[in-house]
Every structure is written in structure tokens, then in C-alpha cells.
Homo-oligomer: A and B are copies of this chain.
Amino acid sequence: MAEFMDVHHGMKDITSEKLREAHNADLAIEGEEGVHFKRAWADPGTGTVYCLSEGPSADAIQRVHERAGHPADEIHPVPITA
């Protein structure tokens, strides 16, 4: 399993409730792709959302996000951490 950071743009004025709904929509189906979304952070000012996940591939991460209705704009493998 690899770790990924994905980025969503265009989420200006996102609320805590909306982020929670979006995250829950991922959690509800992630198991089908062998993915787990661990954390999400949102900057409502610029409309940027970061999601930290683990899974078998960036494609698997994107399939979950797409099916949940919010495809990522970037997905970065992050094999190096500190």
C-alpha cells in the first residue's frame, strides 16, 4: 500500500459540514478499491482541499473520488515522509 496526497481546487467557501459529507462519501465506498482516506484539510479562502490516503495506486484513489462525485485535480504519491 502506498500513501497519496491529492488536491482539489475550486472548493471556495467549503464548510465543515460539506467537507465531512464529501469525506464520508469516500469512506462509504473506498473499501471496494482497497483505498483508505485518512485525513482531509480545507482552505475555504482559496478553495483548496488536501486529502491524505493510502491505496494500491493513484488510479484507485481517483476512482473512489470520481464515484463520490469529486474527482481530484492532482494526485501525488508521497513515498517519503517526515
Binding site for B on A (CB under 8 A): 3, 5, 14-16, 19-20, 22-23, 39-46, 48, 50, 52, 76-82
Contact = CB atoms under 8 A, between A and B. Distances in A.
**How many copies of this kind of chain does the complex include?**
2
Contacts of A81: 19, 39-42
Nearest to A76: B43
Contacts of A19: 80-82
Contacts of A50: 5, 50, 78
A15 B75 CA distance: 19
A82 B82 CA distance: 21
Given A3-B41, A41-B5, A80 B48 contact: no
